[in-house]
Structure 1
Amino acid sequence: MPAEFKEVSTLADAVAAGELPPVQERLPLEPLVIEPAEMIGQHGGILLGAFTGPGDRQNIERWNNDYGIFWDTSATEMRPRAFKAWESSEDGSEWTFFLREGMKWSDGEPYTVDDYMFWYEHILQNPNLVTTIPWYLNWGDALVTFEKVDNYTLKMIFAAPFPSWLETIGSSTVAGHFQQGRVGLGLVAPQHYLEQFHADFIGEDEANAKAKEAGFENWYLYFLAMNDAHMNPDLPVTAPWKPVTTIASNEYKLERNPYFFAVDTEGNQLPYFDGISLELVEELEVLNLRAIAGNYTIQGRHIDFSKLPVIRQNEQQGDYFVDFWTSRTRHPVKIAFNQDWNEDPAIAEYTVGSVEFRKAMGLAIERSEINETFFLGVGKEASLCPANTPPYFNSSRWDEEAGVFDPDRANEILDSIGLDQRDGEGFRLLPNGERLVLRIDAVSGAFLDYPSIAERVAQMWAENVGIQMTVNPVERSLWIERSEANQPMMSMFETGEYNPAALPRLLPSERWAPVAQDWANDPTPDPADYDGPEWIEQQVLKHWEAMREADPARRQQLLIEGTEIMCDHYARLGFVVDVPVYTTLIKNNVRNVPKPLEWVVYAQTPGNGYPEQMFLLQE
């Protein structure tokens, strides 16, 4: 712990004028100490970037972390954050978390266990605010109990052993108030601010009257809107920066939180950057051109890797360098066969009911061409489960069975499973005599040109194995709605990195099994309640068995067994791995960006790089 705490230079005038208390009074007694990646930084400057609209919340959430516990830069070990320490019972059913005494919300009000109890008693347990209790709070088929020990000590008591709770609470599954407040989650909320909108405190009549005056139908919709940091700049937060405008603005601006609870190793309050400013750029081509022109301080999200030659050519003129944030297990593009789709049973017999069909379609993709065309040949061609990538992918059989280009074998398989007849144009016919036509939703306007990739795959399948596929470009938010409604037969988008110990990767998602997802999210799912593919049932049960396992080695073995079930059924087809997830353009005077920086969803990259310690080197 530093011997003394140093004032933020850009806040000195406000302190001198009495508008803010001195730094010693703004920090908790034991602030979080963050060791800079390279050097002690300098306060000041605005971090400039771009976002694509209100749906692009993760763009800022990844930079602005307010979790209780978080990961280190390598995303392999847990670190204190808002919680300074924790302990658990031997079986993991009771967890005690210790808050930082003297920590404050961004408006200077105390941050205590009372804010957790307010969330637990008045938000989580109000069915108007939280319609479905998340699985991790209903562990053991009973609602978790929050117990206040004192103002800075909180107990969470589960009905059954929950040895994996630490990894869960530190991941984006649970996240924090900044990210999850709008849906009534996040574990904590500022009682002193939000009680003015809550019927439990002001009465339902007054709460509804306030809501209608503000244009909302009822008090609980208004309450959730007021608890949405992206849309309500008045909402107190504990993240490094607090919003000044809304995410619906043309410029999403955030300024430093003067009460942020962290310092560097010399006692300088963080963050170093005075603020963040993201400009609205809805067209990805325009966003990339502006980034290449040097308009942004750090921009990795939405940068098109295929533009790397042009990006490199303009490094000097744009005054930036390029960094690659990568993942060995993340596919920038994948095809998902919806395992709950049954709109046409004759087609679903193959897309859902036949592993061999899905293998054949994997063998009919010329991944080397996709790699060269869309990823400049830098990727490693692979199935969804890339060969010999421990600890979870410990075999080469998945690459061999469906991750290589072998159209002869693909045709043999298709001929052998009842698709041996073709029409006059050479397309395969279903056993009922109708042409087999696949349909795929390809997400548009996000990260990559998925519709173009899907069109190329459709050409490959038509030419190589006589399977017709139509491509439906769908904007991301609409695609999510369609997926949740179980409408797509198939989808094309990205995957996250694979670590089922940190994120529930073995559980179905709306992207490939939306009906199964609803069933599987219960930590004690009853197999009798799900009539989908049996292998999904086995995979899900293996996940929950692992989450209940106290022995780490045994837990990992169970996750490996579940992974093998997933990989053996090819519900998703991978293309390439080892492609930079973010091709990040960074101004030459930016310091303290960790190298290397592993890209992971659960650690919210660049969040695991601790953006609050990044800074601009000033003259």
Structure 2
Amino acid sequence: MITRRTTLGLMASALLPGLARAAPEPPFLRPYLRAQALPDLKDRLPKNPRRINLAAMGRQPGKYGGTVRMLIGSQKDIRMMTINGYARLVGYTEDLKFQPDILESFDVQEGRIFTFKIRDGHRWSNGSYLTSEDFRYTWEDVILNKDLRKGGIQRELLANGEGPVFEVIDNLTVRYTWATPNPDFLPGLAAASPVVILMPSAYMRHFHKKYQDDFRLSALMKRYRVKKWADLHIKMSRQYRPENPELPSLDPWIPRTAPPAEQFVFERNPFFHRVDENGLQLPYIDRFLLNISSSEIIAAKTGAGETDLQSTGVDFSDYAFFKDAEKRYPVKVKLWKRTQGSRLALLPNLNCADKVWRDLFWDKRVRRALSLAIDRREINMVSFYGLARESSDTILPESPLFKPEYASAWASHDPDQANALLDEVGLTQRNGDGIRLLPDGREAQIIVETSGESTLETDVLELIKDHWAKVGLALFIKTSQRDVFSSRTMSGEIMMSMWSGLENGVPTADMNPGDLAPSRDDQFQWPSWGMYYLSIEQNGTAPELPEAIRLIDLVKQWRKTANTEERTRIWHEMLEIYTQSVFSIGIVNATLQPVMHSAYIRNIPQQGLYGFVPTCYLGVYMPDTFWYSEEVS
């Protein structure tokens, strides 16, 4: 007698290569197959699909079917499907090593020559083949087109200020060659918001002036309500925020809803390139429904069983409520570890417009005093039930670069030393309430601004307010809007902000250490200096503090080396400077993030690292391998 298990074994013995000739089709696609709107599975997959051995990963091979409901706070959050879907040319493994994903293979020589091999027979979601022409079109007709890239080539595609030489080797092979090493290239491709070097050329030509006649292009511009052909091309090509259902995709689920809408539908990509060990095409789950809800009530709806998979819009403060929901609904809640260097951090604006405060913030003794005055133990117990780790803003033990001294740098509670440091810088005069006086006679009042999106921020600041009062500093809390936060910080209007700490708290030496240096304009402790670096010295202002200048020099050194040992040395020097200088004041890290899901869904890890970078929230844990069981776990 032939059982289902035997049948799967017979199928597995007929692999081409590694794939069954007659693997079961997803029932969801049967109407398309009956209508001959889709080819059979063997013709939809690459000749060598990416095969995921779930049993070897300690997970269960699954079965097809099911719909997942998720809640999002706004239309722009449909990007979560791109982040969590995590289909990348090159991606991270769970232990943060590079692996080919969409690509069949990649080869790197001297850290500067990157050769990419495309999977033979790989198709876009509309059935058109993925070839080297798609890479050529993206490089020559998009990236090098001044109308489409007015800001020039992205920094991740520059090495020593120069772009690569691009070559088409054959129909399935392309090469990017720089004169010097480019260590940002692979991390850029593996990122949550990846560097785009691949577009579906056959589709995008319809919106490019080089390939479309002027009459038709004008009609398309009118239809999509744009004034320039470049705006049309950009609008129709967005991959990160998938608003165009017609745009061919390589993601596991593809959009079926155009904005505006209150619910966004994503359905399985019939040409997705991954299979499991039994030959079943991934993803297992057929459909995602993303429902827009007010951010303030996402947690309440999650606890009421109105979502099947939820990690965004909820926080550790909701955990007890979610655990109680397990008693009422078939749901489970898991706790993953957030990857930020600090869950919350205070960021003195070294570019603030108030010269008196700017001079004080430039003095590391002041920054150290502010840090030493904080009672992190109290904050941990009150706001995180003692489950977080009291630390400076630095990397986590899960990073191979971690050293305990980075975490402890100026992070103990020592108000006596804090008072001594503030006296040492000359803030010795106080008013009748014990508040120190600035050199110009004003009271030492520090206004800390938050985005107002979380009560956690204000709760923690209320505690810090008492801590700082004991060393003669007055703290005032002011809420701001996220949309204007960056511009107000850049102009110097915000003297100090509360935000999250280092974005990537679990780096390897092969990841860019730019978080530790003024390298971006959204780093609120030095936005103008960050803009100077980001704009290649065209905007913003040059750093003036020696430590900040050294950090920038080290980032530049890191970008020029292909040697892992040298990159490791650079990382450690930067971590030492950053933590000793207290450029951001960390409070606690390794905080816990609830991941709520239906009790019928399998393969969601009990533990994980949760962050935008480098794990792409759920992304590296492969939601395409999640599946519905008929039994509650």
Counterparts of 1:522 and 1:491 in 2: how far apart (Å)?
23
1:272 CA drift (Å): 0.7
1:586 CA drift (Å): 1.8
Native 8 Å contact 2:85 2:622 kept in 1: no
Q: In the TM superposition, what whole-angstrom CA distance separates every residue of 1:478-502 from its partner, at most 9, and x where no partner exists?
A: 3244445554322212232321632
Residues 559, 497 of structure 1: CA spacing in aligned structure 2 closer, same or farther, 3 A cutoff? Answer: same
Q: In the TM superposition, what whole-angstrom CA distance separates every residue of 1:272-311 from its partner, at most 9, and x where no partner exists?
A: 1111112112233x11111111221111222121232222
Q: In the TM superposition, what whole-angstrom CA distance separates every residue of 1:470-520 from its partner, at most 9, and x where no partner exists?
A: 322223333244445554322212232321632433342322222222333
Native 8 Å contact 2:531 2:541 kept in 1: no
Matched, 1:83 2:95: no
Residues 487, 300 of structure 1: CA spacing in aligned structure 2 closer, same or farther, 3 A cutoff? Answer: same
1:20 corresponding residue in structure 2: 38
Counterparts of 2:90 and 2:582 in 1: how far apart (Å)?
35
Q: In the TM superposition, what whole-angstrom CA distance separates every residue of 1:526-562 from its partner, at most 9, and x where no partner exists?
A: 9x98243221121122122123222212221111111
Match of 1:292 among 292, 297, 303: 303
Counterparts of 1:11 and 1:203 in 2: how far apart (Å)?
37
Runs of 4+ in 1 over 6 A off after TM superposition: 386-389
* Amino acid in the other structure paired with 1:210: L
1:112 CA drift (Å): 1.2
Matched, 1:322 2:333: yes
Native 8 Å contact 1:53 1:248 kept in 2: no
1:599 corresponding residue in structure 2: 610
Counterparts of 1:423 and 1:128 in 2: how far apart (Å)?
59
Native 8 Å contact 1:95 1:156 kept in 2: yes
Matched, 1:474 2:480: yes
Residues 247, 481 of structure 1: CA spacing in aligned structure 2 closer, same or farther, 3 A cutoff? Answer: farther
Matched, 1:355 2:364: yes
Match of 2:197 among 187, 209, 224: 187
1:613 CA drift (Å): 0.6
Native 8 Å contact 1:255 1:276 kept in 2: yes
Which structure 2 segments of 5+ residues have no match? 1-17
Q: In the TM superposition, what whole-angstrom CA distance separates every residue of 1:195-250 from its partner, at most 9, and x where no partner exists?
A: 11112222567535532443222221122111124221211111001111246421
1:182 corresponding residue in structure 2: none
Counterparts of 1:388 and 1:292 in 2: how far apart (Å)?
32
Native 8 Å contact 1:501 1:559 kept in 2: no
Is the partner of 1:119 in helix, strand or coil?
Answer: helix
1:274 corresponding residue in structure 2: 286
Q: In the TM superposition, what whole-angstrom CA distance separates every residue of 1:33-70 from its partner, at most 9, and x where no partner exists?
A: 12225211111111111111134355333212231011
After TM superposition, the structure 1 = structure 2 runs for residues 362-441 of structure 1, keeping only pairs within 5 Å, are 362-385=371-394, 391-396=400-405, 399=408, 401-441=409-449
1:451 CA drift (Å): 3.3
2:460 corresponding residue in structure 1: 453
After TM superposition, the structure 1 = structure 2 runs for residues 254-265 of structure 1, keeping only pairs within 5 Å, are 254-265=266-277
Counterparts of 1:593 and 1:398 in 2: how far apart (Å)?
30
Counterparts of 1:124 and 1:397 in 2: how far apart (Å)?
40
Superposed CA RMSD in Å reads: 2.5
After TM superposition, the structure 1 = structure 2 runs for residues 46-445 of structure 1, keeping only pairs within 5 Å, are 46-75=67-96, 77-89=97-109, 91-132=110-151, 133-163=153-183, 165-172=185-192, 175=194, 186-203=196-213, 207-208=217-218, 210-229=220-239, 230-246=242-258, 248-284=260-296, 286-327=297-338, 330-339=341-350, 341-351=351-361, 353-385=362-394, 391-396=400-405, 399=408, 401-445=409-453
Residues 315, 114 of structure 1: CA spacing in aligned structure 2 closer, same or farther, 3 A cutoff? Answer: same
1:348 CA drift (Å): 0.4
Residues 241, 617 of structure 1: CA spacing in aligned structure 2 closer, same or farther, 3 A cutoff? Answer: same
Native 8 Å contact 2:253 2:268 kept in 1: yes
Native 8 Å contact 1:333 1:575 kept in 2: yes
Counterparts of 2:49 and 2:398 in 1: how far apart (Å)?
38
Q: In the TM superposition, what whole-angstrom CA distance separates every residue of 1:110-147 from its partner, at most 9, and x where no partner exists?
A: 11111111111111112232222221212132222221
Matched, 1:519 2:539: no
Residues 337, 60 of structure 1: CA spacing in aligned structure 2 closer, same or farther, 3 A cutoff? Answer: farther
Kindly, what percent of the aligned residue pairs are identical? 24
Counterparts of 2:563 and 2:628 in 1: how far apart (Å)?
45
1:334 CA drift (Å): 1.0
Residues 487, 117 of structure 1: CA spacing in aligned structure 2 closer, same or farther, 3 A cutoff? Answer: farther
2:29 corresponding residue in structure 1: 11
Counterparts of 1:567 and 1:312 in 2: how far apart (Å)?
37
Residues 394, 465 of structure 1: CA spacing in aligned structure 2 closer, same or farther, 3 A cutoff? Answer: same
Match of 2:579 among 567, 570, 584: 567
* Amino acid in the other structure paired with 2:252: P
Residues 222, 72 of structure 1: CA spacing in aligned structure 2 closer, same or farther, 3 A cutoff? Answer: same
Residues 484, 39 of structure 1: CA spacing in aligned structure 2 closer, same or farther, 3 A cutoff? Answer: farther
Counterparts of 2:188 and 2:201 in 1: how far apart (Å)?
25
1:398 CA drift (Å): 5.7
Native 8 Å contact 2:395 2:504 kept in 1: no
Q: In the TM superposition, what whole-angstrom CA distance separates every residue of 1:329-370 from its partner, at most 9, and x where no partner exists?
A: 63211111223x23111110112x111101111112121222
Residues 587, 158 of structure 1: CA spacing in aligned structure 2 closer, same or farther, 3 A cutoff? Answer: same
1:386 CA drift (Å): 6.7
Residues 48, 567 of structure 1: CA spacing in aligned structure 2 closer, same or farther, 3 A cutoff? Answer: same
Q: In the TM superposition, what whole-angstrom CA distance separates every residue of 1:400-447 from its partner, at most 9, and x where no partner exists?
A: x5212222221121111111112233322111112232222212326x
* Amino acid in the other structure paired with 1:396: E
1:29 CA drift (Å): 0.9
Is the partner of 1:147 in helix, strand or coil?
Answer: strand
* Amino acid in the other structure paired with 1:67: R
Native 8 Å contact 1:507 1:540 kept in 2: yes
Q: In the TM superposition, what whole-angstrom CA distance separates every residue of 1:259-278 from its partner, at most 9, and x where no partner exists?
A: 11111111111101111112
1:27 CA drift (Å): 0.9
Residues 123, 451 of structure 1: CA spacing in aligned structure 2 closer, same or farther, 3 A cutoff? Answer: farther
Native 8 Å contact 1:53 1:247 kept in 2: no
Counterparts of 1:239 and 1:485 in 2: how far apart (Å)?
39
Is the partner of 1:63 in helix, strand or coil?
Answer: helix
Counterparts of 2:160 and 2:578 in 1: how far apart (Å)?
25
Counterparts of 1:439 and 1:212 in 2: how far apart (Å)?
48
Native 8 Å contact 1:546 1:556 kept in 2: no
Counterparts of 1:389 and 1:210 in 2: how far apart (Å)?
50
Is the partner of 2:510 in helix, strand or coil?
Answer: coil
Is the partner of 1:426 in helix, strand or coil?
Answer: coil
1:166 CA drift (Å): 3.1
Larger mean Cα displacement after TM superposition, 422-431 or 52-61? 52-61
* Amino acid in the other structure paired with 2:175: K
* Amino acid in the other structure paired with 2:387: V
Native 8 Å contact 2:48 2:120 kept in 1: yes
* Amino acid in the other structure paired with 2:25: E
Larger mean Cα displacement after TM superposition, 534-543 or 52-61? 52-61
Match of 1:32 among 47, 50, 57: 50
1:96 CA drift (Å): 0.3
Counterparts of 2:215 and 2:203 in 1: how far apart (Å)?
19
* Amino acid in the other structure paired with 1:81: D
Native 8 Å contact 1:199 1:206 kept in 2: no
Match of 2:565 among 538, 553, 557: 553
Is the partner of 1:505 in helix, strand or coil?
Answer: helix
Counterparts of 1:541 and 1:96 in 2: how far apart (Å)?
29
